[in-house]
Structure 1
């Protein structure tokens, strides 16, 4: 049997880095971050059901600067995953693969993430 040299797939040094690639990586990373955020949500529910002392401890932790950074990261990850997920739904229907459309939706995903995160924080702190 003769062996033929199979073509190799291009690697990261060949591909041109672009916003679509960054958003793809961020979409996967935000999914992982949401998994960690689920643990935060579980901690909140456990503290809530455990009594006022444990809930006060949770509130103190989340009210600190580090807690707010974690909450901001969780909110950003949630909104990015939501906006990019909506775009993926259109891609699943076979729409939006044109280069111009992809470039526009890159911007829409980023703007949507920022706007929705801002709205969530304004509403969250407006109700407190």
Structure 2
């Protein structure tokens, strides 16, 4: 049996750039995973807020000051975008599971639709609240 000749090729993290061009379908899929983790972080913030409310007025005032200040507004707005994006991503996967829009051009349009849709829905949510 002949010894296989090793092939010198880059490993996957080094594929981005000269060997691989990120596509909208891959970027939107990765963003669904990132926004899922960000949503989990948002849940921890809300639980901390509720625990502070149950603990003492001083603890609640501290956490409430942080959550309703400028930093809290920015974090909660970003969290709202993440929740909407993740929701649209799950909807996209449901559509794909049903066998619709599985071709590449439709997948790219759906990826752009997720980014734009999450932004529009976030603006509507911020205005409504």
Q: TM-score range by the shorter chain?
A: 0.7 to 0.9
Q: Secondary structure at the match of 2:16?
A: coil
Q: Secondary structure at the match of 2:58?
A: helix
Task: Rate the CA distance shift 1:6–1:32 in 2: closer, same or farther, 3 A.
Answer: farther
Alignment counterpart, residue 33 of structure 1, candidates 13, 34, 38: 38
Q: Which string of whole-angstrom CA distances, capped at 9 and with x for unpartnered residues, describes residues 42-94 of structure 1?
A: 11211222243332222211122211111111111111101111001111222
Q: Distance in 2 between matches of 1:74 and 1:16?
A: 28
Cα RMSD for the two superposed structures:
2.3
Unaligned runs of 5+ in 2: none
Q: Quick check: 1:65 aligned with 2:70?
A: yes
More deviation, 46-55/102-111: 46-55
Who is 1:16 aligned against? Answer: 21
Who is 1:83 aligned against? Answer: 88
Q: Secondary structure at the match of 1:16?
A: coil
Who is 1:113 aligned against? Answer: 118
Unaligned runs of 5+ in 1: none
Who is 1:54 aligned against? Answer: 59
For this pair of structures, how many residues does the alignment match? 124
Q: Distance in 1 between matches of 2:6 and 2:36?
A: 34
Q: Quick check: 1:43 aligned with 2:48?
A: yes
Task: Rate the CA distance shift 1:5–1:31 in 2: closer, same or farther, 3 A.
Answer: farther
Q: Secondary structure at the match of 2:100?
A: coil
